[in-house]
């Protein structure tokens, strides 16, 4: 079995034979990332050169907030000739400079996802931050002076936001340096003088908001409601929180209020607060919005006059776009938006049209235009661009706000176009206009060399964006769409470097299984090289996470490892997956999860009936929600699979809710059920409640810093399996959280998993 001293393969399970696993704590911040300790402002300080008038009735009263401050850090930039052990590497998440000729991006050529920058057409490449903390997001400032980015210290779930000059100097921490805190990157201000960050902080008491009837003190900042119309659940699962709230009418400068009960005090009670931070520290941070017990809060765009902010908030399955008027922090309107990419839209140059990627109008996400009044009030909306049966997956406005790149998800494959945006002309206060006059104009479609677009970085040339692509035959790379041609950046891996020589990647074929209740499912089948088409093969069902993720035809090194062992792979999309419409996503809510468990068995039956898979040599594996499905499938369908590999999965939904992050629990309650009101349902859905039915060997894999799904979820399932005399082991990956980001850990994981499955399917 592939393991080493740094990554113990059981025994590490408490109660099992052998030593007990050491306590796993959260990653500590780097020693040079200590906060200065200076208290932040008590209210919203004005942006540089843009004083905000006080709202009618006096200033907004707030409790003191520990606003983030820039903290200088040692420069860690490195030249191009740093050690580069990986020939086949990935490049992703590009962000272009104002000229569009240079790109900051994430690359794992050193074995860790780090921040790099270089010209799109060749030239010197720079490693801007050589620290070993994985980089997650990148944003180049509109003025070209700074690059902001998010890192995950220790590979864990707590993140921090930094910035650096394009030459690698003046690196500094913007937010997230305090122990136990976390920070997330938002948008830049249009002039590049400040960047938005969202930080976690203790929930303030007595935070007040202003409304049409004057200030109103609350113990819990009220939460805007979704727009209703959610698919009902036959399991009677109840959402966290109280009755739905409503958004104030546009005639009032009112922050949303309602009867939602304040969350209980305790270690899980936190506030998300969004600030504008000057990287140079010349002006005080500006508080934009805050929400107690919030699962997410991200600043996605600011209007050019810096009067309005677009925020994305809410748990998965119930995301909302909010427009906040900055001078009084009043919410002027909200609209349901699709899950997936958090960058949901932006403003027209005059701030009178809001462009959103939203599924509020139907089953699939589309480009929606919202008409705004002079005070930010919502006057109406309409669909500006849509495709039947396809989600708008990515929306990226150029910095001028006059064109947008639209990436459509067409049965798992991306189609990209750039369209002009015809915003409505201002005409008084817009009273009496039932719908906006904005629309998408002529568009230009691109021919892509690979199947899936993962990120679009607009440039000053409307039809020349920089895009991140993944495909079934390549590592993730960055391409420049220049004058109608797709040009691979010279620092991205070549297609021929995607895999070792002699092991060509496999192009998958789409399958459409049908569930026992008649629901059409989906997925991709990978046939091991050299196998006769008529020969039933040992097959691994790989179940994705989410549940709202979707299988895409991209090169997965894990699949490549399994295929190289002579194992076929079927990666299905069961109910709950994205890409098939909102009703399909919501079809597994509450007691609908029992049908999702049946979908796994139905997908296995489909590949057997089609003559692809050998019914005597089936395995199941998956990560996160897929790890839960793996454990659940092994106990719900104990005679179907020979073995399973559960990665970062939940084995008991009750202990999961007790141990996970509180904001993750709120999102999970929407999917699975309320941890108190739906205890019987959660117990019935938990693999541990049926563990006596487990009959086959199981391998669990977990990251030691995972606070999304705590490592105890894997430990208790492995312990229960071993108590029943079964072969069960746990591989604990160091310096990893819920995602495995380090190349050596990913390699160890896939080789260990492939060894395990091969041994149990071929014995």
Residue identified by tokens 């669909």 is 383
pLDDT confidence bin for 422, thresholds 50/70/90: confident
Give pLDDT, residue 315: 84
Give pLDDT, residue 57: 33
pLDDT at 54 over 90: no
Angstrom CA distances, 721 to 8, 436, 651, 715, 727, stand at 18, 60, 12, 10, 7
Give pLDDT, residue 463: 77
Least confident segment among 131-145, 225-239, 266-280, 483-497: 225-239
Give pLDDT, residue 79: 67
Give pLDDT, residue 259: 29
pLDDT at 228 over 90: no
pLDDT at 519 over 60: yes
The pLDDT tens digits of the residues spanning 704-756 come to: 999 899 999 999 999 999 999 999 999 999 989 899 988 899 999 999 999 99
CB 427 within 8 A of CB 376: no
pLDDT at 82 over 70: no
371-392 burial, b if ≥16 CB within 10 A, otherwise e?
bbbeebbbbebeebbbbeebbb
Angstrom CA distances, 122 to 80, 102, 441, 490, stand at 13, 9, 34, 6
Residue 1 has a CB neighbour count (10 Å cut-off) of 12
CB 128 within 8 A of CB 77: yes
56-70, 110-124, 439-453 — which one is most confidently predicted on average?
110-124
Three-state secondary structure call for residue 748: helix
Give pLDDT, residue 293: 77
Give pLDDT, residue 435: 47
Three-state secondary structure call for residue 583: helix
Three-state secondary structure call for residue 683: helix
Give pLDDT, residue 216: 28
pLDDT confidence bin for 440, thresholds 50/70/90: low
Residue identified by tokens 């391409």 is 479
Mean pLDDT of 111-139: 92
The CA distance from 499 to 444, in Å, is 33
Strand segments (E) across 520-612: 522-526, 537-543, 568-573
Strand segments (E) across 377-521: 378-385, 391-397, 403-410, 413-422, 439-445, 452-457, 466-471, 474-482, 485-488, 509-510
**Cross-strand pairs, 117:** 104, 126
pLDDT confidence bin for 204, thresholds 50/70/90: very low
The pLDDT tens digits of the residues spanning 544-577 come to: 998 999 999 999 999 999 999 999 999 999 999 9
- 155 or 440, greater pLDDT: 155
Give pLDDT, residue 425: 52
The CA distance from 527 to 533, in Å, is 9
Three-state secondary structure call for residue 241: coil
Residue identified by tokens 């919502």 is 378
CB 86 within 8 A of CB 109: yes
The CA distance from 728 to 747, in Å, is 21
pLDDT at 670 over 90: no
pLDDT at 241 over 60: no
The CA distance from 366 to 368, in Å, is 6
The CA distance from 176 to 76, in Å, is 19
Tell me the average pLDDT of the chain.
81
Q: Please give the model's pTM, rounded to 2 decimal places.
A: 0.82
pLDDT at 208 over 50: no
- 76 or 667, greater pLDDT: 76
The CA distance from 508 to 562, in Å, is 14
Give pLDDT, residue 67: 83
CB 287 within 8 A of CB 5: no
Structure tokens at 583: 């009703």
The CA distance from 359 to 744, in Å, is 39
pLDDT at 518 over 90: yes
pLDDT at 2 over 60: no
pLDDT at 583 over 80: yes
Residue 519 has a CB neighbour count (10 Å cut-off) of 17
Angstrom CA distances, 345 to 20, 322, 323, 406, stand at 49, 11, 11, 11
The pLDDT tens digits of the residues spanning 342-384 come to: 999 999 999 999 999 999 989 999 999 999 999 999 999 999 9
pLDDT at 7 over 70: no
Looking at the chain, the whole-number percentage of residues with pLDDT higher than 70 is 79
CB 289 within 8 A of CB 266: no
pLDDT at 85 over 90: no
Mean pLDDT of 57-78: 66
């Amino acid at each position: 079995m592939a393991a080493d001293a740094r990554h113990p393969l059981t025994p590490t399970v408490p109660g099992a034979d052998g030593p007990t696993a050491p306590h796993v704590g959260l990653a500590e911040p780097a020693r040079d990332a200590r906060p200065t300790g200076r208290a932040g402002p008590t209210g919203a300080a004005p942006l540089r050169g843009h004083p905000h008038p006080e709202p009618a009735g006096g200033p907004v009263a707030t409790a003191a907030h520990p606003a983030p401050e820039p903290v200088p850090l040692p420069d860690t930039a490195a030249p191009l000739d740093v050690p580069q052990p990986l020939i086949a590497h990935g490049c992703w998440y590009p962000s272009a400079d104002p000229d569009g000729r240079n790109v900051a991006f994430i690359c794992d050529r050193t074995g860790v996802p780090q921040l790099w920058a270089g010209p799109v057409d060749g030239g010197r490449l720079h490693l801007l931050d050589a620290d070993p903390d994985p980089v997650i997001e990148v944003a180049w400032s509109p003025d070209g002076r700074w690059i902001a980015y998010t890192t995950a210290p220790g590979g864990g779930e707590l993140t921090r936001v930094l910035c650096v000059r394009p030459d690698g100097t003046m690196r500094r921490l913007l937010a997230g340096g305090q122990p136990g805190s976390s920070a997330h990157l938002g948008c830049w201000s249009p002039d590049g003088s400040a960047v938005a960050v969202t930080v976690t902080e203790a929930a303030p008491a007595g935070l007040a908001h202003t409304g049409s009837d004057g200030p109103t003190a609350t113990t819990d900042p009220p939460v805007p409601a979704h727009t209703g119309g959610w698919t009902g659940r036959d399991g009677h699962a109840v959402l966290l929180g109280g009755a739905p709230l409503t958004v104030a009418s546009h005639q009032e400068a009112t922050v949303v209020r309602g009867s939602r009960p304040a969350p209980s005090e305790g270690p899980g009670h936190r506030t998300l607060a969004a600030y504008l931070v000057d990287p140079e520290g010349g002006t005080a941070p500006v508080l934009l919005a805050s929400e107690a017990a919030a699962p997410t809060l991200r600043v996605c765009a600011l209007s050019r006059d810096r009067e309005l902010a677009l925020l994305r908030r809410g748990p998965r399955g119930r995301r909302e776009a909010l427009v906040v008027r900055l001078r009084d922090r009043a919410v002027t309107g909200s609209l349901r938006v699709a899950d997936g990419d958090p960058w949901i839209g932006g403003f027209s140059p005059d701030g009178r049209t809001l462009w959103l990627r939203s599924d509020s109008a139907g089953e699939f996400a589309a480009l929606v235009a919202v008409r705004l009044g002079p005070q930010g009030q919502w006057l109406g909306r309409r669909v500006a661009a849509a495709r039947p049966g396809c989600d708008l997956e990515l929306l990226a406005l150029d910095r001028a706000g006059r064109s947008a790149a639209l990436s459509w998800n067409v049965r798992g494959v991306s189609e990209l176009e750039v369209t002009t945006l015809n915003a409505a002309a201002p005409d008084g206060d817009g009273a009496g206009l039932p719908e906006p006059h904005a629309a998408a104009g002529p568009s230009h479609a691109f021919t892509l060399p690979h199947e899936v677009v993962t990120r679009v970085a607009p440039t000053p040339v409307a039809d020349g964006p920089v895009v991140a692509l993944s495909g079934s035959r390549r590592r993730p790379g960055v391409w420049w769409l220049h004058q109608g041609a797709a040009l691979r950046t010279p620092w991205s891996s070549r297609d021929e470097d995607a895999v070792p020589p002699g092991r060509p990647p496999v192009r998958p074929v789409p399958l459409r299984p049908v569930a026992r209740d008649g629901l059409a499912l989906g997925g991709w089948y990978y046939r091991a090289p050299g196998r006769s088409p008529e020969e039933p093969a040992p097959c691994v069902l790989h179940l994705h996470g989410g549940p709202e993720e979707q299988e895409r035809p991209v090169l997965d090194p894990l699949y490549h490892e399994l295929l190289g062992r002579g194992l076929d792979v079927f990666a299905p999309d069961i109910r709950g997956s994205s890409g098939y419409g909102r009703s399909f996503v919501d079809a597994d809510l509450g007691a609908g999860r029992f049908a999702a468990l049946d979908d796994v068995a139905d997908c296995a039956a489909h590949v057997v009936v089609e003559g692809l898979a050998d019914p005597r040599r089936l395995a199941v594996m998956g990560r996160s929600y897929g790890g839960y499905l793996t454990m659940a499938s092994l106990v719900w369908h104990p005679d179907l699979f020979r073995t399973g590999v559960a990665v970062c999965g939940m084995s008991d939904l009750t202990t999961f809710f007790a141990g996970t992050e509180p904001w993750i629990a709120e999102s999970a309650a929407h999917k699975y059920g309320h941890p108190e009101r739906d205890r019987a349902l959660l117990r019935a859905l938990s693999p541990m409640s049926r563990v006596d039915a487990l009959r086959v060997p199981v391998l669990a894999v977990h990251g030691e810093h995972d606070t999304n799904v705590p490592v105890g979820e894997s430990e208790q399932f492995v312990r229960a399996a071993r108590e029943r005399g079964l072969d069960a082991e746990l591989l604990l990956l160091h310096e990893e959280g819920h995602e495995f980001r380090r190349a050596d850990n990913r390699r160890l994981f896939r080789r260990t998993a492939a060894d395990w499955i091969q041994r149990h399917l071929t014995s």
